[in-house]
Structure 1
Amino acid sequence: MILALSAGWGLATAAAAATAYAVLALATPRLGARTIRGLLLLAWLLHALVLADGLLGQPPRFGFAPALSMTVWLVLTVYAIESRLFPQLQAHWALAGLGSAAVILSLVFPGTTYHVIASPWLPLHWALGIASYGLFAAAVVHGWLMTRSERSMRLAAQTDAGVPLLTLERLTFRFVEAGFVLLSATLLVGWLFAETLYGPGLAWKWNHKTVFSVLAWLTFAGLLIGRARLGWRGRKAVRVLYLGSGLLLLGYAGSRFVLEVILRRA
Protein backbone atom coordinates (compact mmCIF):
# COMPACT_ATOMS: atom_id res chain seq x y z
CA MET A 1 0.00 0.00 0.00
CA ILE A 2 2.82 2.41 0.82
CA LEU A 3 4.24 1.82 -2.66
CA ALA A 4 1.13 3.46 -4.11
CA LEU A 5 2.75 6.82 -3.43
CA SER A 6 4.43 8.52 -6.37
CA ALA A 7 8.09 7.68 -6.74
CA GLY A 8 10.69 8.38 -4.10
CA TRP A 9 10.14 11.94 -3.05
CA GLY A 10 6.51 11.40 -2.00
CA LEU A 11 7.48 8.78 0.56
CA ALA A 12 10.46 10.84 1.74
CA THR A 13 8.31 13.98 2.12
CA ALA A 14 5.67 12.07 4.09
CA ALA A 15 8.31 10.56 6.38
CA ALA A 16 9.87 13.99 6.94
CA ALA A 17 6.47 15.55 7.74
CA ALA A 18 5.58 12.78 10.21
CA THR A 19 9.00 13.08 11.87
CA ALA A 20 8.80 16.87 12.19
CA TYR A 21 5.35 16.60 13.78
CA ALA A 22 6.52 13.85 16.14
CA VAL A 23 9.56 15.85 17.30
CA LEU A 24 7.30 18.84 17.97
CA ALA A 25 4.79 16.72 19.89
CA LEU A 26 7.39 15.01 22.06
CA ALA A 27 9.90 17.79 22.65
CA THR A 28 7.66 20.87 23.04
CA PRO A 29 8.50 21.46 26.74
CA ARG A 30 12.21 21.65 25.90
CA LEU A 31 11.91 23.88 22.84
CA GLY A 32 11.83 27.65 22.58
CA ALA A 33 8.91 29.52 21.01
CA ARG A 34 10.87 30.34 17.86
CA THR A 35 11.95 26.73 17.36
CA ILE A 36 8.35 25.54 17.87
CA ARG A 37 7.07 27.97 15.22
CA GLY A 38 9.80 26.91 12.79
CA LEU A 39 9.14 23.19 13.26
CA LEU A 40 5.39 23.67 12.95
CA LEU A 41 5.82 25.65 9.72
CA LEU A 42 8.20 23.02 8.29
CA ALA A 43 5.86 20.15 9.16
CA TRP A 44 2.86 22.07 7.80
CA LEU A 45 4.58 22.75 4.46
CA LEU A 46 5.74 19.13 4.09
CA HIS A 47 2.24 17.92 4.96
CA ALA A 48 0.82 20.20 2.23
CA LEU A 49 3.20 18.64 -0.31
CA VAL A 50 2.06 15.15 0.74
CA LEU A 51 -1.60 16.12 0.23
CA ALA A 52 -0.83 17.71 -3.14
CA ASP A 53 0.97 14.54 -4.23
CA GLY A 54 -2.18 12.52 -3.64
CA LEU A 55 -4.84 14.92 -4.91
CA LEU A 56 -3.00 16.47 -7.84
CA GLY A 57 -0.97 13.46 -8.92
CA GLN A 58 -1.63 11.49 -12.08
CA PRO A 59 -3.84 9.66 -11.41
CA PRO A 60 -5.23 11.35 -8.27
CA ARG A 61 -6.00 9.33 -5.12
CA PHE A 62 -8.51 9.93 -2.38
CA GLY A 63 -9.99 7.98 0.52
CA PHE A 64 -10.72 8.00 4.24
CA ALA A 65 -7.09 8.45 5.35
CA PRO A 66 -6.29 11.35 2.95
CA ALA A 67 -9.59 12.95 4.02
CA LEU A 68 -8.58 12.74 7.69
CA SER A 69 -5.07 13.94 6.84
CA MET A 70 -6.43 16.99 5.04
CA THR A 71 -8.81 17.68 7.93
CA VAL A 72 -5.91 17.71 10.40
CA TRP A 73 -3.90 19.95 8.05
CA LEU A 74 -6.79 22.43 7.90
CA VAL A 75 -7.05 22.42 11.71
CA LEU A 76 -3.32 23.12 11.94
CA THR A 77 -3.76 25.96 9.44
CA VAL A 78 -6.47 27.48 11.63
CA TYR A 79 -4.30 27.02 14.72
CA ALA A 80 -1.30 28.67 13.06
CA ILE A 81 -3.40 31.74 12.22
CA GLU A 82 -5.02 31.86 15.65
CA SER A 83 -1.73 31.48 17.50
CA ARG A 84 -0.69 34.79 15.92
CA LEU A 85 -3.84 36.44 17.28
CA PHE A 86 -3.74 34.56 20.60
CA PRO A 87 -0.07 33.73 21.35
CA GLN A 88 -1.13 32.16 24.65
CA LEU A 89 -2.82 29.20 22.91
CA GLN A 90 -1.11 26.00 24.09
CA ALA A 91 -2.35 23.12 21.93
CA HIS A 92 0.44 22.65 19.40
CA TRP A 93 1.81 19.47 21.05
CA ALA A 94 -1.54 17.68 20.75
CA LEU A 95 -2.17 18.90 17.20
CA ALA A 96 1.37 17.93 16.17
CA GLY A 97 0.74 14.41 17.47
CA LEU A 98 -2.47 14.25 15.41
CA GLY A 99 -0.57 15.54 12.38
CA SER A 100 2.07 12.82 12.64
CA ALA A 101 -0.59 10.11 13.04
CA ALA A 102 -2.59 11.46 10.09
CA VAL A 103 0.41 11.50 7.74
CA ILE A 104 1.39 7.96 8.72
CA LEU A 105 -2.20 6.74 8.27
CA SER A 106 -2.37 8.22 4.77
CA LEU A 107 0.91 6.47 3.97
CA VAL A 108 -0.53 3.10 4.94
CA PHE A 109 -3.93 3.73 3.33
CA PRO A 110 -3.35 6.10 0.37
CA GLY A 111 -6.94 5.75 -0.90
CA THR A 112 -8.62 4.86 -4.16
CA THR A 113 -6.92 5.70 -7.45
CA TYR A 114 -9.20 7.66 -9.80
CA HIS A 115 -8.09 6.93 -13.36
CA VAL A 116 -11.21 8.58 -14.76
CA ILE A 117 -13.11 11.45 -13.11
CA ALA A 118 -16.68 11.90 -14.38
CA SER A 119 -16.65 15.68 -13.88
CA PRO A 120 -13.95 18.32 -13.44
CA TRP A 121 -16.21 19.72 -10.68
CA LEU A 122 -15.81 16.61 -8.53
CA PRO A 123 -12.60 17.84 -6.82
CA LEU A 124 -14.46 21.05 -5.90
CA HIS A 125 -17.20 18.93 -4.31
CA TRP A 126 -14.52 17.05 -2.37
CA ALA A 127 -12.93 20.34 -1.32
CA LEU A 128 -16.24 21.68 0.05
CA GLY A 129 -16.80 18.52 2.05
CA ILE A 130 -13.29 18.37 3.47
CA ALA A 131 -13.35 22.09 4.28
CA SER A 132 -16.50 21.49 6.35
CA TYR A 133 -14.69 18.58 8.05
CA GLY A 134 -11.81 20.90 8.87
CA LEU A 135 -14.01 23.64 10.30
CA PHE A 136 -15.96 21.22 12.49
CA ALA A 137 -12.70 19.61 13.61
CA ALA A 138 -11.43 23.08 14.57
CA ALA A 139 -14.67 23.58 16.50
CA VAL A 140 -14.09 20.28 18.32
CA VAL A 141 -10.55 21.33 19.30
CA HIS A 142 -11.87 24.64 20.64
CA GLY A 143 -14.71 22.84 22.41
CA TRP A 144 -12.14 20.59 24.08
CA LEU A 145 -10.10 23.62 25.18
CA MET A 146 -13.29 25.27 26.40
CA THR A 147 -14.21 22.21 28.49
CA ARG A 148 -10.71 22.11 30.03
CA SER A 149 -10.86 25.81 30.86
CA GLU A 150 -14.30 25.47 32.42
CA ARG A 151 -13.16 22.48 34.51
CA SER A 152 -10.08 24.38 35.68
CA MET A 153 -12.22 27.34 36.70
CA ARG A 154 -14.53 25.06 38.70
CA LEU A 155 -11.53 23.57 40.50
CA ALA A 156 -9.90 26.99 40.97
CA ALA A 157 -6.86 25.67 39.14
CA GLN A 158 -4.69 27.47 36.62
CA THR A 159 -5.83 26.82 33.04
CA ASP A 160 -3.30 26.14 30.29
CA ALA A 161 -5.61 27.09 27.41
CA GLY A 162 -4.40 30.68 27.70
CA VAL A 163 -7.56 32.19 26.16
CA PRO A 164 -10.60 33.53 28.06
CA LEU A 165 -13.50 31.09 28.26
CA LEU A 166 -15.96 33.40 26.50
CA THR A 167 -13.49 33.91 23.67
CA LEU A 168 -13.08 30.15 23.25
CA GLU A 169 -16.86 29.72 23.22
CA ARG A 170 -17.29 32.44 20.60
CA LEU A 171 -14.57 30.92 18.40
CA THR A 172 -16.08 27.43 18.76
CA PHE A 173 -19.45 28.55 17.43
CA ARG A 174 -17.93 30.65 14.68
CA PHE A 175 -16.34 27.45 13.35
CA VAL A 176 -19.61 25.54 13.79
CA GLU A 177 -21.51 28.19 11.82
CA ALA A 178 -18.96 28.28 8.99
CA GLY A 179 -18.77 24.47 8.87
CA PHE A 180 -22.58 24.25 8.79
CA VAL A 181 -22.71 26.57 5.77
CA LEU A 182 -20.13 24.48 3.87
CA LEU A 183 -21.77 21.18 4.86
CA SER A 184 -25.12 22.52 3.65
CA ALA A 185 -23.54 23.52 0.33
CA THR A 186 -21.87 20.10 0.00
CA LEU A 187 -25.13 18.21 0.58
CA LEU A 188 -27.08 20.52 -1.72
CA VAL A 189 -24.59 20.12 -4.55
CA GLY A 190 -24.54 16.34 -4.07
CA TRP A 191 -28.34 16.21 -4.14
CA LEU A 192 -28.81 18.44 -7.19
CA PHE A 193 -25.82 17.43 -9.31
CA ALA A 194 -24.94 13.86 -8.27
CA GLU A 195 -25.13 12.45 -11.82
CA THR A 196 -23.05 15.33 -13.17
CA LEU A 197 -20.39 14.80 -10.51
CA TYR A 198 -20.23 11.00 -10.39
CA GLY A 199 -21.57 9.90 -13.76
CA PRO A 200 -24.86 8.69 -15.31
CA GLY A 201 -26.96 6.44 -13.10
CA LEU A 202 -25.25 7.65 -9.91
CA ALA A 203 -27.97 9.92 -8.60
CA TRP A 204 -28.52 10.80 -4.93
CA LYS A 205 -28.81 7.61 -2.89
CA TRP A 206 -29.73 7.03 0.74
CA ASN A 207 -26.62 5.03 1.55
CA HIS A 208 -24.59 5.03 4.78
CA LYS A 209 -22.60 8.12 3.77
CA THR A 210 -25.73 10.11 2.95
CA VAL A 211 -27.67 9.04 6.04
CA PHE A 212 -24.85 9.86 8.48
CA SER A 213 -24.12 13.17 6.73
CA VAL A 214 -27.78 14.24 6.89
CA LEU A 215 -27.98 13.17 10.56
CA ALA A 216 -24.87 15.28 11.24
CA TRP A 217 -26.45 18.24 9.43
CA LEU A 218 -29.61 17.91 11.54
CA THR A 219 -27.52 17.68 14.73
CA PHE A 220 -25.55 20.83 13.91
CA ALA A 221 -28.76 22.63 12.92
CA GLY A 222 -30.22 21.65 16.30
CA LEU A 223 -27.08 22.89 18.05
CA LEU A 224 -27.25 26.31 16.38
CA ILE A 225 -31.00 26.63 17.04
CA GLY A 226 -30.52 25.49 20.63
CA ARG A 227 -27.83 28.08 21.19
CA ALA A 228 -29.86 30.87 19.57
CA ARG A 229 -33.27 30.06 21.07
CA LEU A 230 -32.55 28.08 24.24
CA GLY A 231 -29.18 29.50 25.25
CA TRP A 232 -27.26 26.21 25.08
CA ARG A 233 -23.74 26.72 26.36
CA GLY A 234 -20.90 24.90 28.05
CA ARG A 235 -20.94 21.14 28.38
CA LYS A 236 -24.36 20.59 26.80
CA ALA A 237 -23.36 22.47 23.64
CA VAL A 238 -19.99 20.71 23.46
CA ARG A 239 -21.63 17.27 23.79
CA VAL A 240 -23.97 18.03 20.88
CA LEU A 241 -20.94 19.28 18.91
CA TYR A 242 -19.12 16.00 19.59
CA LEU A 243 -22.20 14.00 18.54
CA GLY A 244 -22.57 15.87 15.26
CA SER A 245 -18.85 15.61 14.50
CA GLY A 246 -18.90 11.87 15.22
CA LEU A 247 -21.83 11.38 12.82
CA LEU A 248 -20.05 13.43 10.16
CA LEU A 249 -16.88 11.40 10.63
CA LEU A 250 -18.88 8.21 10.09
CA GLY A 251 -20.48 9.75 7.01
CA TYR A 252 -17.47 9.77 4.68
CA ALA A 253 -14.38 8.59 6.52
CA GLY A 254 -16.25 5.78 8.28
CA SER A 255 -17.97 4.46 5.17
CA ARG A 256 -14.76 4.68 3.11
CA PHE A 257 -12.84 2.90 5.88
CA VAL A 258 -15.29 -0.02 5.70
CA LEU A 259 -15.05 -0.15 1.89
CA GLU A 260 -11.28 0.26 1.59
CA VAL A 261 -10.01 -1.62 4.63
CA ILE A 262 -12.64 -4.13 5.73
CA LEU A 263 -14.35 -4.97 2.41
CA ARG A 264 -11.29 -4.07 0.29
CA ARG A 265 -13.44 -2.45 -2.40
CA ALA A 266 -12.74 0.79 -4.27
Structure 2
Amino acid sequence: MILASASPLGLLLSAAAALAYAVPALGARAMGGVGARRVLLLAWLLHGLLLAYNLLDGPPRFGFAPALSITVWLALTVYAVESQLYPQMRARWALAGFGAVAVVLALLFPGTALPHTSSPLLPLHWALGIAAYGMFAAAVAHGWLMTRAEHQMRAASQAVEGGVPLLTLERLMFRFVGAGFVLLTLTLIAGTFFGEQLYGASHVGWRWDHKRIFTVLSWITFAVLLIGRWRLGWRGRRAVRVLYAGAALLLFGYVGSRFVLEVLLGRVA
Protein backbone atom coordinates (compact mmCIF):
# COMPACT_ATOMS: atom_id res chain seq x y z
CA MET A 1 0.00 0.00 0.00
CA ILE A 2 1.65 3.24 -1.16
CA LEU A 3 -1.06 5.79 -0.49
CA ALA A 4 1.40 8.38 0.78
CA SER A 5 3.05 8.59 -2.64
CA ALA A 6 -0.10 9.90 -4.33
CA SER A 7 -0.01 13.56 -5.34
CA PRO A 8 -2.66 16.01 -4.05
CA LEU A 9 -4.25 16.25 -7.50
CA GLY A 10 -4.26 12.47 -7.82
CA LEU A 11 -5.92 12.14 -4.42
CA LEU A 12 -8.51 14.77 -5.37
CA LEU A 13 -9.34 13.08 -8.69
CA SER A 14 -9.55 9.67 -7.00
CA ALA A 15 -11.87 10.95 -4.28
CA ALA A 16 -14.07 12.79 -6.78
CA ALA A 17 -14.34 9.80 -9.12
CA ALA A 18 -15.06 7.34 -6.29
CA LEU A 19 -17.72 9.66 -4.82
CA ALA A 20 -19.32 10.21 -8.23
CA TYR A 21 -19.48 6.46 -8.76
CA ALA A 22 -20.90 5.87 -5.29
CA VAL A 23 -23.88 8.18 -5.86
CA PRO A 24 -25.58 6.14 -8.62
CA ALA A 25 -24.35 2.88 -7.09
CA LEU A 26 -26.26 3.58 -3.88
CA GLY A 27 -29.15 5.70 -5.14
CA ALA A 28 -29.75 4.89 -8.82
CA ARG A 29 -33.43 4.06 -8.29
CA ALA A 30 -34.14 7.17 -6.28
CA MET A 31 -32.35 9.38 -8.80
CA GLY A 32 -34.17 8.03 -11.83
CA GLY A 33 -32.68 6.88 -15.12
CA VAL A 34 -31.67 10.27 -16.50
CA GLY A 35 -30.09 11.55 -13.28
CA ALA A 36 -28.16 8.34 -12.62
CA ARG A 37 -26.91 8.25 -16.21
CA ARG A 38 -25.62 11.84 -15.97
CA VAL A 39 -23.79 11.25 -12.69
CA LEU A 40 -22.31 8.01 -14.04
CA LEU A 41 -21.08 9.91 -17.10
CA LEU A 42 -19.43 12.47 -14.80
CA ALA A 43 -17.78 9.65 -12.83
CA TRP A 44 -16.56 8.07 -16.07
CA LEU A 45 -15.03 11.39 -17.18
CA LEU A 46 -13.31 11.91 -13.82
CA HIS A 47 -12.04 8.33 -13.91
CA GLY A 48 -10.61 8.90 -17.39
CA LEU A 49 -8.88 12.09 -16.24
CA LEU A 50 -7.44 10.16 -13.31
CA LEU A 51 -6.06 7.44 -15.58
CA ALA A 52 -4.52 10.02 -17.92
CA TYR A 53 -3.01 11.94 -15.01
CA ASN A 54 -1.47 8.80 -13.52
CA LEU A 55 0.00 7.96 -16.91
CA LEU A 56 1.59 11.40 -17.36
CA ASP A 57 2.55 12.18 -13.76
CA GLY A 58 5.99 10.63 -13.42
CA PRO A 59 6.97 7.08 -14.43
CA PRO A 60 3.88 4.99 -15.32
CA ARG A 61 2.97 2.42 -12.67
CA PHE A 62 1.07 -0.81 -13.09
CA GLY A 63 -0.26 -3.62 -10.94
CA PHE A 64 -3.41 -5.59 -10.19
CA ALA A 65 -5.42 -2.56 -9.03
CA PRO A 66 -4.53 -0.25 -11.95
CA ALA A 67 -5.32 -3.14 -14.31
CA LEU A 68 -8.75 -3.51 -12.72
CA SER A 69 -9.26 0.24 -12.83
CA ILE A 70 -8.54 0.48 -16.56
CA THR A 71 -10.63 -2.63 -17.26
CA VAL A 72 -13.67 -1.20 -15.45
CA TRP A 73 -13.23 2.14 -17.23
CA LEU A 74 -13.18 0.37 -20.61
CA ALA A 75 -16.31 -1.60 -19.69
CA LEU A 76 -18.00 1.67 -18.75
CA THR A 77 -16.90 3.16 -22.07
CA VAL A 78 -18.67 0.31 -23.84
CA TYR A 79 -21.76 0.89 -21.69
CA ALA A 80 -21.70 4.63 -22.44
CA VAL A 81 -21.80 3.87 -26.17
CA GLU A 82 -24.40 1.13 -25.85
CA SER A 83 -26.69 3.22 -23.65
CA GLN A 84 -27.07 5.59 -26.59
CA LEU A 85 -28.15 2.71 -28.84
CA TYR A 86 -30.15 0.86 -26.18
CA PRO A 87 -31.40 3.43 -23.61
CA GLN A 88 -33.45 0.71 -21.90
CA MET A 89 -30.31 -1.21 -20.85
CA ARG A 90 -29.99 -0.84 -17.10
CA ALA A 91 -26.77 -1.83 -15.37
CA ARG A 92 -25.82 1.56 -13.94
CA TRP A 93 -25.79 0.69 -10.26
CA ALA A 94 -23.63 -2.42 -10.72
CA LEU A 95 -21.10 -0.73 -13.02
CA ALA A 96 -20.96 2.30 -10.75
CA GLY A 97 -20.25 0.06 -7.76
CA PHE A 98 -17.41 -1.68 -9.59
CA GLY A 99 -16.07 1.72 -10.65
CA ALA A 100 -15.96 3.02 -7.07
CA VAL A 101 -14.19 -0.10 -5.81
CA ALA A 102 -11.69 -0.04 -8.69
CA VAL A 103 -10.76 3.62 -8.12
CA VAL A 104 -10.23 3.10 -4.39
CA LEU A 105 -8.14 -0.04 -4.93
CA ALA A 106 -5.95 1.74 -7.49
CA LEU A 107 -5.38 4.54 -4.97
CA LEU A 108 -4.42 2.12 -2.19
CA PHE A 109 -2.33 -0.21 -4.39
CA PRO A 110 -0.83 1.87 -7.25
CA GLY A 111 1.49 -0.94 -8.39
CA THR A 112 5.10 -0.68 -9.50
CA ALA A 113 6.86 1.32 -12.20
CA LEU A 114 6.79 -0.23 -15.66
CA PRO A 115 10.15 -1.59 -16.86
CA HIS A 116 12.26 0.77 -18.94
CA THR A 117 12.68 -0.46 -22.48
CA SER A 118 13.70 1.01 -25.79
CA SER A 119 11.16 -1.07 -27.66
CA PRO A 120 8.17 0.83 -29.06
CA LEU A 121 6.28 -2.48 -29.01
CA LEU A 122 5.88 -2.57 -25.23
CA PRO A 123 3.11 0.08 -25.01
CA LEU A 124 1.29 -1.72 -27.84
CA HIS A 125 1.67 -5.06 -26.04
CA TRP A 126 0.22 -3.63 -22.82
CA ALA A 127 -2.56 -1.87 -24.73
CA LEU A 128 -3.58 -5.11 -26.45
CA GLY A 129 -3.70 -6.96 -23.14
CA ILE A 130 -5.74 -4.29 -21.36
CA ALA A 131 -8.10 -3.96 -24.33
CA ALA A 132 -8.67 -7.73 -24.21
CA TYR A 133 -9.52 -7.44 -20.51
CA GLY A 134 -11.96 -4.66 -21.32
CA MET A 135 -13.72 -6.62 -24.06
CA PHE A 136 -14.11 -9.69 -21.87
CA ALA A 137 -15.34 -7.52 -18.99
CA ALA A 138 -18.01 -6.11 -21.31
CA ALA A 139 -18.91 -9.68 -22.37
CA VAL A 140 -19.24 -10.74 -18.72
CA ALA A 141 -21.50 -7.75 -18.03
CA HIS A 142 -23.76 -8.78 -20.90
CA GLY A 143 -23.75 -12.36 -19.68
CA TRP A 144 -24.89 -11.16 -16.27
CA LEU A 145 -27.63 -9.06 -17.89
CA MET A 146 -28.74 -12.13 -19.85
CA THR A 147 -28.93 -14.22 -16.70
CA ARG A 148 -30.89 -11.56 -14.84
CA ALA A 149 -33.28 -11.08 -17.75
CA GLU A 150 -33.88 -14.83 -17.96
CA HIS A 151 -34.63 -14.99 -14.24
CA GLN A 152 -37.08 -12.11 -14.62
CA MET A 153 -38.81 -13.92 -17.45
CA ARG A 154 -39.08 -17.11 -15.42
CA ALA A 155 -40.51 -15.14 -12.52
CA ALA A 156 -43.02 -13.46 -14.86
CA SER A 157 -41.58 -10.03 -14.04
CA GLN A 158 -43.31 -7.05 -15.60
CA ALA A 159 -40.04 -5.44 -16.71
CA VAL A 160 -37.55 -7.75 -18.36
CA GLU A 161 -34.20 -5.99 -18.40
CA GLY A 162 -35.81 -2.71 -19.41
CA GLY A 163 -37.08 -4.24 -22.66
CA VAL A 164 -33.72 -5.31 -24.13
CA PRO A 165 -34.35 -8.64 -25.90
CA LEU A 166 -32.38 -11.65 -24.75
CA LEU A 167 -31.19 -12.35 -28.29
CA THR A 168 -29.78 -8.81 -28.51
CA LEU A 169 -27.87 -9.24 -25.25
CA GLU A 170 -26.58 -12.62 -26.40
CA ARG A 171 -25.45 -11.27 -29.76
CA LEU A 172 -23.62 -8.39 -28.10
CA MET A 173 -22.00 -10.75 -25.60
CA PHE A 174 -20.54 -12.96 -28.33
CA ARG A 175 -19.34 -9.95 -30.29
CA PHE A 176 -17.31 -8.82 -27.29
CA VAL A 177 -16.03 -12.35 -26.74
CA GLY A 178 -14.88 -12.48 -30.36
CA ALA A 179 -13.16 -9.10 -30.15
CA GLY A 180 -11.50 -10.02 -26.85
CA PHE A 181 -10.34 -13.35 -28.25
CA VAL A 182 -8.62 -11.63 -31.18
CA LEU A 183 -6.91 -9.13 -28.87
CA LEU A 184 -5.86 -11.87 -26.44
CA THR A 185 -4.42 -13.92 -29.31
CA LEU A 186 -2.37 -10.95 -30.51
CA THR A 187 -1.16 -10.35 -26.94
CA LEU A 188 0.02 -13.96 -26.58
CA ILE A 189 1.73 -13.87 -29.97
CA ALA A 190 3.53 -10.64 -29.09
CA GLY A 191 4.68 -11.98 -25.72
CA THR A 192 5.89 -15.24 -27.24
CA PHE A 193 7.74 -14.05 -30.33
CA PHE A 194 8.83 -10.58 -29.21
CA GLY A 195 9.53 -11.21 -25.52
CA GLU A 196 13.20 -10.27 -25.80
CA GLN A 197 12.45 -6.98 -27.56
CA LEU A 198 9.66 -6.20 -25.09
CA TYR A 199 11.24 -7.15 -21.76
CA GLY A 200 14.86 -7.99 -22.42
CA ALA A 201 16.96 -11.13 -22.69
CA SER A 202 15.31 -12.76 -19.65
CA HIS A 203 12.06 -13.14 -21.59
CA VAL A 204 13.28 -15.04 -24.65
CA GLY A 205 10.89 -17.66 -26.00
CA TRP A 206 8.13 -19.44 -24.13
CA ARG A 207 8.09 -19.48 -20.32
CA TRP A 208 5.64 -21.67 -18.41
CA ASP A 209 5.01 -19.41 -15.44
CA HIS A 210 1.69 -19.13 -13.60
CA LYS A 211 0.63 -16.04 -15.55
CA ARG A 212 1.21 -17.71 -18.90
CA ILE A 213 -0.51 -20.93 -17.83
CA PHE A 214 -3.69 -19.19 -16.68
CA THR A 215 -3.71 -16.96 -19.76
CA VAL A 216 -3.36 -19.90 -22.14
CA LEU A 217 -6.08 -21.80 -20.27
CA SER A 218 -8.37 -18.80 -20.62
CA TRP A 219 -7.55 -18.59 -24.35
CA ILE A 220 -8.46 -22.26 -24.77
CA THR A 221 -11.71 -21.73 -22.83
CA PHE A 222 -12.74 -18.79 -24.99
CA ALA A 223 -11.81 -20.75 -28.13
CA VAL A 224 -14.05 -23.61 -26.96
CA LEU A 225 -16.85 -21.12 -26.32
CA LEU A 226 -16.61 -19.62 -29.79
CA ILE A 227 -16.38 -23.04 -31.46
CA GLY A 228 -19.32 -24.25 -29.40
CA ARG A 229 -21.33 -21.26 -30.50
CA TRP A 230 -20.36 -21.67 -34.15
CA ARG A 231 -20.60 -25.46 -34.52
CA LEU A 232 -22.99 -26.53 -31.74
CA GLY A 233 -25.16 -23.47 -31.29
CA TRP A 234 -24.28 -22.91 -27.63
CA ARG A 235 -26.33 -20.20 -26.01
CA GLY A 236 -27.99 -19.20 -22.75
CA ARG A 237 -26.74 -20.53 -19.44
CA ARG A 238 -24.17 -22.91 -20.92
CA ALA A 239 -22.48 -20.14 -22.89
CA VAL A 240 -22.51 -17.78 -19.91
CA ARG A 241 -20.96 -20.40 -17.62
CA VAL A 242 -18.12 -21.05 -20.05
CA LEU A 243 -17.64 -17.29 -20.40
CA TYR A 244 -17.40 -16.89 -16.63
CA ALA A 245 -14.85 -19.73 -16.44
CA GLY A 246 -12.66 -18.15 -19.12
CA ALA A 247 -12.90 -14.71 -17.53
CA ALA A 248 -11.95 -16.12 -14.12
CA LEU A 249 -8.88 -17.84 -15.59
CA LEU A 250 -7.86 -14.65 -17.36
CA LEU A 251 -8.32 -12.68 -14.15
CA PHE A 252 -6.08 -15.11 -12.30
CA GLY A 253 -3.50 -14.84 -15.07
CA TYR A 254 -2.37 -11.29 -14.31
CA VAL A 255 -4.59 -9.58 -11.75
CA GLY A 256 -4.71 -12.59 -9.44
CA SER A 257 -0.97 -13.25 -9.57
CA ARG A 258 -0.15 -9.58 -9.04
CA PHE A 259 -2.59 -9.43 -6.12
CA VAL A 260 -0.78 -12.30 -4.44
CA LEU A 261 2.62 -10.66 -5.02
CA GLU A 262 1.68 -7.11 -4.05
CA VAL A 263 -0.82 -7.68 -1.22
CA LEU A 264 -0.37 -11.15 0.27
CA LEU A 265 3.40 -11.44 -0.17
CA GLY A 266 4.24 -7.73 -0.07
CA ARG A 267 6.58 -7.93 -3.05
CA VAL A 268 6.92 -5.09 -5.56
CA ALA A 269 8.43 -7.05 -8.46
String of CA shifts for 1:77-127, please: whole Å, max 9, x gaps: 000110110000111011001000000000110011236235332122111
**Secondary structure of 2:58's match?**
coil
Checking the alignment, whether the CA contact within 8 Å between 1:140 and 1:241 is kept in structure 2 is: yes
Any idea what the Cα deviations from partners look like across 1:41-72, whole Å, max 9, x if unmatched?
21111111221233333211001100001000
2:36 corresponding residue in structure 1: 36
Which of 43-52 and 88-97 deviates more? 43-52
Paired AA for residue 263 in structure 2: V
2:195 pairs with 1:191: no
User: What's the CA shift for 1:34?
Assistant: 3.5
Match of 1:200 in 2: 201
Which amino acid is 2:131 matched to?
Answer: A
CA distance 1:107–1:222, change in 2 (3 Å): same
1:239-254, aligned counterparts within 5 Å? 239-254=241-256
Cα deviation, 1:168-215, whole Å, max 9, x if unaligned, reads 110010000000000000001111101110112222311010000000
Paired letter, 2:158: Q
Counterpart pick for 1:231 among 230, 233, 236? 233
**TM-score normalised per structure 2:** 0.95
**How many angstroms apart in 2 are the aligned matches of 1:109 and 1:117?**
24
CA contact (8 A) 2:115 2:199 kept: no
Matched, 1:218 2:220: yes
User: Hey, what does 1:52 align to over in structure 2?
Assistant: 52
What percent identity do the matched residue pairs reach? 65
Distance in 2 between the 1:230 and 1:114 partners?
43
Q: Could you say if the C-alpha distance between residues 22 and 160 of structure 1 is closer, same or farther in structure 2, counting changes exceeding 3 Å?
A: farther
Q: In the TM superposition, what whole-angstrom CA distance separates every residue of 1:118-155 from its partner, at most 9, and x where no partner exists? A: 53321221111011001101100100110111122223
Note if contact 1:90-1:161 (Cα within 8 Å) is conserved in structure 2.
yes
Give the aligned residue type for 1:208. H
The separation in 2 between residues aligned to 1:45 and 1:202, in whole angstroms, is: 37
Q: Is the 8 A contact 1:54 1:62 kept in 2?
A: no
Matches within 5 A, 1:67-82: 67-82=67-82
Q: 177-186 or 28-37: which moved more?
A: 28-37
How far 1:160 moved relative to its partner? 4.3
> What secondary structure, in the 3-state scheme, does the structure 1 residue paired with 2:202 have?
coil
| More displaced stretch, 199-208 vs 81-90 | 199-208
Q: Distance in 2 between matches of 1:115 and 1:215?
A: 26
Unaligned 5+ runs, structure 1: none
**One-letter amino acid of the counterpart of residue 105, structure 1:** L
Aligned amino acid, residue 95 of structure 1: L
Aligned partner of 1:95 in structure 2 is 95
Map of 1:85-234 to 2, 5 A cutoff? 85-114=85-114, 116-162=116-162, 163-203=164-204, 204-234=206-236
Bigger drift between 17-26 and 109-118 goes to 109-118
Query: TM-score, normalised to structure 1's length?
Result: 0.96
Change (3 A) 1:196 1:111: same
Q: Say if 1:55 and 1:62, in contact at 8 Å, map to a contact too.
A: no
